[in-house]
Amino acid sequence: MNNQQSNANLNPAMVQLTDVFKTFNAGTVNEVRPMQGVNLTITEGSFVIVLGGNGSGKSTLLNAIAGSFMIDTGKIELNGEDVTQWPEHKRATLIGRVFQNPFSGTAPSMSILDNFSLAAKRGKFRGLSWAHSSNLQDELKDRVSELKMGLENRLDTAIGSLSGGQRQALTLLMATWLKPKLLLLDEHTAALDPKSADQVIALTEQIISKEKLTTLMVTHSMQQAINLGDRIIMMHKGNVLHDVNAHEKQRLRIDDLLSRFENVRRRELLDESVADLLRLRYI
Amino acid sequence: MTLLIGALTLGIILSLLALGVYISYRIFDIADITVDGSITFGAAVSSVLLVQMGVHPLWATLAGFLAGAIAGTVSGILQTHFKINPLLSGILVMTGLYSVNLHVMGRSNIPFLGTVTLSTYCEKIGNIVFGGNEILLMGWTVSTTDLMTLILMFLLVSSISLVLWLFFHTDLGTAMRASGDNPQMIRALGGNVEYYKIFGLALSNGLVGLAGALWAQYQNFADVQMGIGMVVWGLASVIIGEALAGTASVVTAIIGTIIGSILFRQLVAIALSFGLNPNDLKLITALFVFAALILPNMLSKLSVGKRKVAL
Ligand SMILES: Nc1ncnc2c1ncn2[C@@H]1O[C@H](COP(=O)(O)OP(=O)(O)OP(=O)(O)O)[C@@H](O)[C@H]1O
Ligand SMILES: [Mg+2]
């Protein structure tokens, strides 16, 4: 207990959600409540994995933090500031994002260089200075050649002509070009073939550990959940249902996670389908 | 020859309109009908300043730009702030502008008889540079006024294109291009898409208003009807430009659009000289754009069909 407290003091909360509620299409047949009183604290520097079945509200959680929509009630704090009323583009000063769809994170008809010149100004004032500064070009060449994808000589290529894996790797690099206070990854390898997914995950791990980024990563891969991060939260029906901290997580194996799903079911906290759903998705 | 120079000059002047349409249609993916109103608005404001207030033609022309930019800003605010469908926003502003233009002009047509306009300057400069009213050009007798107008308009459009090209490579201009290409992405990178859209439409319609001011001075009158169907004209130019120069980069798009405008005007002039009824012009323009819009689709369907047969 003491230990935990001093830990918490060392690492202040980077993200704090308090009683967050959100209903979409309220009062219609399409009403969904993907956030029902979500409370969540993420300390600075921690790497949190988010698990949960389809429609459990994982993407909604990330979208709420990023400001893609305004929440109904509750409070969202980032880096000690109350950002509940901030529009998305203002929150982008603090947040880097990679989406599930490789098409979402880049401007397809613009060149790699164009895209990075945008990333280099994330959350900053965009004025009339030349976007392709030579500093940017040099640094970009270095960092892109580290990807070993042979893209360093194709910086003028339209980014839309690249493969999904290449685009996700570049999007990740863009999201972290200026060190974000919080990195949001929403199943960013789900649309990729296994080999590209592994590459992007390796890159993810490398960047996060090097920059010590506070990260919230949604994944469907049990392997990723076990191997990465220092905390797991499990979402169900718009709530954070389960929380595995760093200490526990070290000894966690896939079987343990599965039996947790099973436990949840046995305790009959939820309807039967949950465990099945989770099993279906993660095995 | 005079006809050719005239068509060239008008094509170049109207390429500013085409560049405006390029910005709204290609960069922001909006079919912005505001254009029909803002080209007349630019002409109306500048003509009143010229004829009734005796303002210097340069300032009056600049006012045409500002007038168009205001119209574009209103359209942009309707779209972003009030979330009105872009097409409808354009229709509303265009319709409203019709009355505004009548009020500004006070009547439906303002002739520039005896007024000092940019054409007056073109005449003076032409006389000085070429030393007379007429010169021999490739065996043809050409009015130096016409020639000078052509040269000056070409220089003006070239410098505006250069400025546009530079602008679209600044941080702001790049972000504006991205907000048309992938709004979700630019928001996640801290871009205010709504603001960019308003700014983009202001710039677009500003160019259109400028085209209106120059066009009125070139033809020596402003008319409240002169804007009708001009957005389709702009689209035709953009589409021809893309077919010729491609869409690879901002440079090719800008140059293509200008060439598209000139060529289109040239085609129209030729068609008219072969006896095309001017009343049919708008219909033919519309049919042309229709064809240009559906052709790529039909061609790709055709080739898919062929591939199926081959398999
Ligand atoms: N903008 C929106 N408008 C309406 N409904 C929405 C919106 N965003 C999410 N929802 C709904 O909220 C629920 C939760 O969706 P969410 O995308 O957060 O689930 P998820 O846990 O990310 O699922 P998945 O694993 O399939 O990505 C779903 O029923 C979804 O349809
Ligand atoms: Mg999701």
* Local confidence pLDDT in tens for the 311 residues of chain B: 778 899 999 999 999 999 999 999 999 999 999 999 999 999 999 999 999 999 999 999 999 999 999 999 999 999 999 999 999 999 999 999 999 999 999 999 999 988 999 999 999 999 999 988 888 888 888 899 999 999 999 999 999 999 999 999 999 999 999 999 999 999 999 999 999 999 999 999 999 999 999 999 999 999 999 999 999 999 999 999 998 888 778 999 999 999 999 999 998 889 888 888 988 988 988 998 888 888 877 777 776 655 544 44
Q: Are residues A200 and A72 in the same domain?
A: yes
Return the residue whose CA atom lies nearest to atom 24 of ligand 1: A54
Q: Are residues A180 and A267 in the same domain?
A: no
Return the residue whose CA atom lies nearest to atom 8 of ligand 1: A60
| B114-125 burial code (b ≥16 CB/10 A, e <16) | ebebbbebbbeb
Q: Are residues A175 and A257 in the same domain?
A: no
Question: Which residues of chain B lie closer than 8 angstroms to A123, CB-CB?
Answer: 189-190
Alpha carbon distance A172, A175 (integer Å)? 5
Query: Which of A97, A101, A109 to probe the B interface (max B CBs under 10 A)?
Result: A109
Q: What is the mean pLDDT of residues A249-277?
A: 62
Integer CA distances (angstroms), A69 to A65, A139, A250, B34, B203, in order: 9, 34, 35, 30, 29
Alpha carbon distance A69, A78 (integer Å)? 16
Q: Are residues A260 and A246 in the same domain?
A: no
Q: Are residues A212 and A272 in the same domain?
A: no
Tokens of A177: 């070009």
Instruction: Indicate whether residue A24 lines ligand 1 (CB < 6 A).
Output: yes
Please tell me the distance between residue A35's alpha carbon and the centre of ligand 1 in angstroms: 10
Q: Are residues A130 and A154 in the same domain?
A: yes
Q: What's chain A's average pLDDT?
A: 88
Residue with tokens 């065996």: B139
* CATH code of A86's domain: 3.40.50.300
Q: Are residues A16 and A90 in the same domain?
A: yes
For residue A203, what are the domain limits?
2-252
Q: Are residues A156 and A272 in the same domain?
A: no
Q: What is the mean pLDDT of residues A47-66?
A: 93
Q: Are residues A132 and A247 in the same domain?
A: yes
Q: Are residues A166 and A233 in the same domain?
A: yes
Alpha carbon distance B208, B16 (integer Å)? 6
Comparing C-alpha atoms, which of B174, B169, B162, B172 is closest to residue B258? B162
Domain ranges of chain B: 2-227
Half-sphere exposure for A160 (CA within 13 Å, toward CB): 9
State which ligand 1 atom lies nearest to the alpha carbon of A220. Answer: 25
Q: Are residues A265 and A163 in the same domain?
A: no
- Contacts across the A-B interface (CB distance below 8 Å): 92
Chain B residues with CB within 8 Å of chain A CB: 167, 169-175, 177-178, 181-182, 184-193, 247
Comparing C-alpha atoms, which of A155, A36, A173 is closest to residue A96? A173
Tokens of B61: 């022309």
Q: How many structural domains is chain A composed of?
A: 2
Contact between chains at A104 and B172 (C-beta distance less than 8 A):
no
Report whether B265 contacts B14 (CB < 8 A). yes
Query: For residue A279, what pLDDT is reported?
Result: 61
Query: For residue A2, what pLDDT is reported?
Result: 43
Query: For residue A276, what pLDDT is reported?
Result: 60
At B289-307, the pLDDT tens digits run 888 888 877 777 776 655 5
Instruction: Indicate whether residue A56 lines ligand 1 (CB < 6 A).
Output: yes
Q: Are residues A247 and A261 in the same domain?
A: no
Instruction: Indicate whether residue A57 lines ligand 1 (CB < 6 A).
Output: yes
CA angle B63, B68, B72 (to 5 degrees): 145
Q: What residues contact residue B272 under an 8 Å CB cut-off, 6+ apart?
A: B278, B281
Question: What ipTM was estimated for this complex?
Answer: 0.88
At A163-218, the pLDDT tens digits run 999 999 999 999 999 999 999 999 999 999 999 999 999 999 999 999 999 999 99
Query: For residue B8, what pLDDT is reported?
Result: 95
Query: For residue B293, what pLDDT is reported?
Result: 82
State which ligand 1 atom lies nearest to the alpha carbon of A53. Answer: 25
Query: For residue A281, what pLDDT is reported?
Result: 61
Instruction: Indicate whether residue A23 lines ligand 1 (CB < 6 A).
Output: no
